[in-house]
């Protein structure tokens, strides 16, 4: 019997030791006993962090949808796979069984085939949180097409960049989306994006809001009639273990977004195994992750991980504040949710509201509470623990990344004793390391450094789409033979890890990773702007908010400042999306720069955070006089 389900702490340590002493034997056993394969692997692991090249289960053949759908049909055909909770409370929730989901996936797969989509082709998915989104991912996987989901809050510019980067020929979208009391014109955003995407031949449109949209003849089609006509079964394409499953873009500290490529077998094995253990999922539990499927959390822990375990996974279309701040708890009560997984930014937003919104509801079904996306501060942790968990549901603070595919450092509920703000222990198979400034590993406890991983795990991203050099430079060049995460962390006296935050220029706002470069590019495109720099500063709900320092051109000097601020934010909304809008914009005459021309963001960060008592070493600045001016006029 393999150690698929860990139930107590001694077992965790035992299995952990086994998984690092002989990772190949360990993962082979898990893979063998808990998944269906069309052909067994020839080789469990082949890796070289120098090239870098990582291959798991090479030679194996499978289709992930047979693992997520077909194999459950004999035993779980009538079990609910997806509960869909709509944005509007007057619309009924949907319960989609495994059998129904299988049929819907097959129909959509056939529609894609009919539109010329073949194995290896990229399909862009720009959809709200409706069942068709999950169905679309699985339909791509069914036929071996590579999905590239773009979060439906991104602007047309961000969308077109992503479509072109991975050369998608087809886009799946909807007429619009419901978010609270607003609706968003998704099709309009797609139309605008496609002006810059000559390679897109077809747009398949889900009807959701019923709003008036324009359909481009020959290019755009309503999806439902095509699904109705399509055959209800579809033979699964047999994939190689290392065939790409999807591309998902993530921001870097510089340059364009990186299309992280995840492959089939390793991703499946690791997301399924972590899902089972990190949420202690038991048959008939109802599991809810509030993330959007546009992020990795949704891919791994709304769709693939839960479905590979035959779980019931809830998809919520709406927002936590609509119709009021009790919505999450209303949904937990209504569907008797057992595992609830959300982000610190949502917890902080709800903690600001009246406690009655939580106390009104029966939350006794809850057994596990999860947190992901950014460090959870102590106050938010206690609020979550006291008011949602009633001190009865362990909190799993799960640290991981788009690049890691699955959860890496986390407590196992009812197994690992938790400490607020600590992600605690490495998950089975994960070998973290902390590195110092001299690129040496820091051993022992009560130490702090840059967080790396020493050994591959099955769901590590294999490359950046179209740019393997960038993949190597970003993740494998800072430290020899290590995957570098971009995060700092400390290890306490008992070996628990606490993530201290990014050590690069990525800023996490409300759980969304934002690179400084694309936002600065957007600002700089404003005709009155000469140059700009943005930094994050602490914000009690969003975690971080954005502070922009902007140098105006001479032509901009006479303009009204408040109007300029509005225009700059409008520019950002169009180029990146509303999530990247600046909370504060300060106009400055210069930016602190080093001799090599790099903006010293450390200083700007301190000023933005009102923490100017010690600015650190400014001796390498080319223009130290500008610091005084910036401090005096700071907002
Ligand atoms: C899953 C996800 C990755 C970055 C990562 C960290 C931060 C995520 C935690 C966290 C502290 C956590 N993927 N991060 N989880 N920081 N504690 N539990 O968020 O690619 O979008 O972001 O998010 O900085 O590097 S992501």
Domain CATH code at residue 546: 3.30.300.30
- Asked if residues 380 and 347 have their Cβ atoms less than 8 Å apart, the reply is yes
Task: Give domain status of residue 625, yes or no.
Answer: yes
Q: What share of the chain is helix, strand, coil (3-state, %, to 5)?
A: 30, 25, 40
- Closest ligand 1 atom to 513 CA: 21
Q: How far is the CA of 568 from the centre of ligand 1 (A)?
A: 28
Contact call for residues 578 and 539 (beta carbons, < 8 A): no
Ligand 1 centroid–CA 373 distance in Å is 4
- Ligand 1 nearest-atom number relative to CA 502: 24
485 CA closest ligand 1 atom index? 25
Mutate to test the pocket of ligand 1, among 259, 400, 409, 411 (most ligand atoms within 8 A of CB): 400
Evaluate whether 56 touches 266 at the Cβ level (below 8 Å).
yes
Which residue ranges in the chain fall short of pLDDT 70? 1, 252-255, 595-598, 619-620
Report CA(487)–ligand 1 centroid distance (Å).
9
Rounded Cα–Cα distance for residues 81 and 460 (Å): 27
Please indicate, yes or no, if residue 534 is contained in any of the structural domains. Answer: yes
Residue 263 phi/psi, 5-degree rounding, is: -105, 180
C-alpha 200 to ligand 1 mean position (Å): 32
Q: What is the pLDDT of residue 513?
A: 84
pLDDT at 521: 84
Q: Which contiguous run of DSSP H or E holds residue 267? A: helix 265-278
Best mutation site among 377, 499, 579 for ligand 1 pocket (most ligand atoms within 8 Å of CB)? 499
Name the closest-CA residue to atom 7, ligand 1: 374
Atom index in ligand 1 nearest the CA of residue 295 equals: 21
Residue with CA at minimum distance from ligand 1 atom 6: 374
Task: Answer whether residue 559 is part of any domain.
Answer: yes
pLDDT score, position 623: 85
Distance of CA 453 to CAs 19, 434, 435, Å? 14, 9, 10
Indicate which residue's Cα is closest to atom 19 of ligand 1: 373
Q: What's the 504 CA to ligand 1 centre distance in angstroms?
A: 13
Q: Helices 9-21 and 23-34, interaxial angle, to 10°?
A: 110
* CA 543 to ligand 1 center in whole angstroms: 12
Per-residue pLDDT of 217-249, as tens digits, reads 999 999 999 999 999 999 999 999 999 999 999
Residue 410 to residue 395: CA distance in whole angstroms: 10
Tell me which residue range forms the domain holding 558: 506-632
**492 part of a folded domain:** no
The number of residues making up the chain comes to: 635
Q: How far is the CA of 345 from the centre of ligand 1 (A)?
A: 12
Ligand 1: distance of its center to the CA of 401 in Å? 5
Alpha-carbon dihedral 172, 307, 65, 471, rounded to 10 degrees: 70
Residue 399 Cα to ligand 1 midpoint, Å, equals 6
The answer to whether 370 touches 297, Cβ cutoff 8 Å, is no
Q: Determine the distance separating the centroid of ligand 1 and the alpha carbon of 324, expressed in angstroms.
A: 28
Q: How far is the CA of 426 from the centre of ligand 1 (A)?
A: 15
In ligand 1, which atom is closest to the CA atom of 410?
18
Q: Within 10 Å of residue 502's Cβ, how many Cβ atoms?
A: 18
Dig out the tokens for 214 from the structure.
């324009």
Examine residue 540 and state whether it is found in any structural domain, yes or no. Answer: yes
pLDDT of residue 388: 98
What pLDDT does 345 receive? 84
Residue whose structure tokens are 């099955």: 458
Domain count within the chain: 1
Residue 496 Cα to ligand 1 middle (Å): 17
**Closest approach atom of ligand 1 to CA 512:** 21
Q: Which residues line ligand 1 (CB under 6 A)?
A: 250, 295-297, 372-375, 397-402, 423, 485-487, 499, 502, 508, 513
The predicted pLDDT at position 254 comes to 64
- Residue of minimum CA distance from atom 1 in ligand 1: 401
527 found inside a domain: yes
Residue 215 CA to ligand 1 center (angstroms) comes to 39
Residue 150 domain-assigned (yes or no): no
Residue 615 forms part of a structural domain: yes
- For atom 12 of ligand 1, the residue with the nearest CA is 399
Which residue CA neighbors atom 17 of ligand 1 most closely? 375
Pocket test for ligand 1, best of 274, 348, 401 (most atoms within 8 A of CB): 401
């Amino acid at each position: 019997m393999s150690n698929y389900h860990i139930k107590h702490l001694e077992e965790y340590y035992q299995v952990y030791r086994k998984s690092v002493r002989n990772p190949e034997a360990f993962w082979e056993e898990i893979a063998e006993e808990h998944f269906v394969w069309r052909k067994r692997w020839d080789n469990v692991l082949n890796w070289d962090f120098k090239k870098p090249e990582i291959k798991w289960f090479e030679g194996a053949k499978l289709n992930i949808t047979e693992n997520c759908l077909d194999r459950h049909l004999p035993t779980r055909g009538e079990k609910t796979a997806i509960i869909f909770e709509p944005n509007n409370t007057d619309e009924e929730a949907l319960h989609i069984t495994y059998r129904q989901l299988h049929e819907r996936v097959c129909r959509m797969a056939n529609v894609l085939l009919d539109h010329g989509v073949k194995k290896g082709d990229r399909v862009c998915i720009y959809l709200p949180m409706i069942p068709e989104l999950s169905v679309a991912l699985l339909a791509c996987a069914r036929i071996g097409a590579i999905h590239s989901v773009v979060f439906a809050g991104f602007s047309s510019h961000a969308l077109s960049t992503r479509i072109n980067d991975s050369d998608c020929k087809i886009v799946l979208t909807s007429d619009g989306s419901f978010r609270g009391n607003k609706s968003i014109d998704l099709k309009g955003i797609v139309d605008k994006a496609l002006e810059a995407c000559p390679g897109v031949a077809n747009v398949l449109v889900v009807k959701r809001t019923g709003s008036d949209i324009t359909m481009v003849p020959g290019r755009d089609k309503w999806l439902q009639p095509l699904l109705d006509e399509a055959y209800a079964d579809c033979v699964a394409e047999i994939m190689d273990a290392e065939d790409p499953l999807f591309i998902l873009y993530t921001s870097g500290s510089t340059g364009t977004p990186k299309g992280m490529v995840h492959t089939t077998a390793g991703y499946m094995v690791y997301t399924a195994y972590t899902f089972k253990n990190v949420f202690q999922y038991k048959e008939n539990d109802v599991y809810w992750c509030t993330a959007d499927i546009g992020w990795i959390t949704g891919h791994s822990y709304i769709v693939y991980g839960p479905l590979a375990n035959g779980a019931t996974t809830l998809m919520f279309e709406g927002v936590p504040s609509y119709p009021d701040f009790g919505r999450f708890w209303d949904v937990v009560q209504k569907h008797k949710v057992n595992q609830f997984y959300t982000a610190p930014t949502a917890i902080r937003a709800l903690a600001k509201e009246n406690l009655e919104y939580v106390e009104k509801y029966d939350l006794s079904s809850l057994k596990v509470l999860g947190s992901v996306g950014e460090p959870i501060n102590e106050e938010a942790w206690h609020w979550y623990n006291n008011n949602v968990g009633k001190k009865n549901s362990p909190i799993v603070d799960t640290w991981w990344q788009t690049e890691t595919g699955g959860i890496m450092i986390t407590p196992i509920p009812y197994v690992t004793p938790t400490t607020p703000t600590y992600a605690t222990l490495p998950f089975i198979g994960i070998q973290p390391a902390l590195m110092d400034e001299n690129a040496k590993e820091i051993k022992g406890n009560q130490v702090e450094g840059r967080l790396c991983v020493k050994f591959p795990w099955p769901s590590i991203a294999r490359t950046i789409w179209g740019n393997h050099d960038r993949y190597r430079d970003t993740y494998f060049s800072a430290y020899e033979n290590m995957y570098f995460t971009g995060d700092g962390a400390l290890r306490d006296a008992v070996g628990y890890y606490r993530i201290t935050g990014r050590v690069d220029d990525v800023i996490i706002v409300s759980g969304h990773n934002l690179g400084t470069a694309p936002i600065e590019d957007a600002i700089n495109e404003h005709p009155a702007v000469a140059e700009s720099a943005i930094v994050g500063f602490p914000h009690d709900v969003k975690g971080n908010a954005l502070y922009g320092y902007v140098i105006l051109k001479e032509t901009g000097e006479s303009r009204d400042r408040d109007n300029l601020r509005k225009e700059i934010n409008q520019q950002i909304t169009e180029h990146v999306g509303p999530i990247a809008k600046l909370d504060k914009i300060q106009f400055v005459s210069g930016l602190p720069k080093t001799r090599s021309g790099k903006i010293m963001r450390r200083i700007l960060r301190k000023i933005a955070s009102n923490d100017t008592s010690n600015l650190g070493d400014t001796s390498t600045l080319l223009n130290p006089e500008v610091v005084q001016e910036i401090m005096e006029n700071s907002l």
